[in-house]
Amino acid sequence: MGETFGLHLMLDGYGCDRSRLESEQFVYEFLDEFPENIGMTKLMRPYVFRYKGTDRSDWGLSGFVLIAESHVSIHTFPASGYVSIDIFSCKSFDTARAEKEIVDKFAIRRVEKNILDRGVEYPRNTDIAEKIVISERSQCRLKAVGAQ
C-alpha cells in the first residue's frame, strides 16, 4: 500500500449460493463478524435493507457496516447468483485472506477482484506534504515566468 491513504478491495462474485444471498440474517451476520476477522474495528451495528423492483427478479439486499478504518458494503442479487462486496480501509489488510473468507461464506464459484490504492497523493506525514507543496509552487512559478 505504500504512501497512499488506503486500500479498496472490490469483489464481484458469480454463481453464489442463492439462499445466502437472499437471507437478511446471513448478510447481517457476515457484516457483523467480518470486520474483526480481517483486523478492523467495527463502529456500529450493520444495516441491511431489502430492495424490490417492479420486476419479480429485480430484488436483493444491500448492507453496510462502518468501521474505524472506513467501511464494508455488500449488494446481493439472488436471482442472478451475484454479490458485490467492497472493503475500503485506510489500514493495510490481507486482501487474499479477505477474499478467501468472502468466497467461502457466499459459496462463490467465480470471482472478479479489483484492488485500488486510494488517495495516492494523500501525504501520510507533514514532511511529504511540505515537499509536495514546495514542488507544486516551484512549478507554478516556472510556468508564470515562462508565460511572460
- Give per-10-residue mean pLDDT for the chain (148 aa): 76 97 98 96 96 85 95 96 96 94 98 87 62 72 66
Note the pLDDT of residue 3.
66
C-alpha grid cell, residue 9:
478491495
Residue by residue, DSSP assigns 41-104 as -B-S--EEEEEE-SSTT-EEEEEEEEETTEEEEEEEEGGGTEEEEEEEESS---HHHHHHHHHH
75 is catalytic: yes
**In degrees, to the nearest 5, what angle opens at C-alpha 24 toward C-alphas 21 and 26?**
70
Q: Of these residues, 8, 16, 75, 89, which one is catalytic?
A: 75
How do residues 7-16 score in pLDDT, each as one tens digit?
A: 899 999 999 9
90 is catalytic: yes
How do residues 99-124 score in pLDDT, each as one tens digit?
A: 999 999 999 999 999 998 877 766 66
70 is catalytic: yes
Q: Of these residues, 23, 71, 84, 90, which one is catalytic?
A: 90
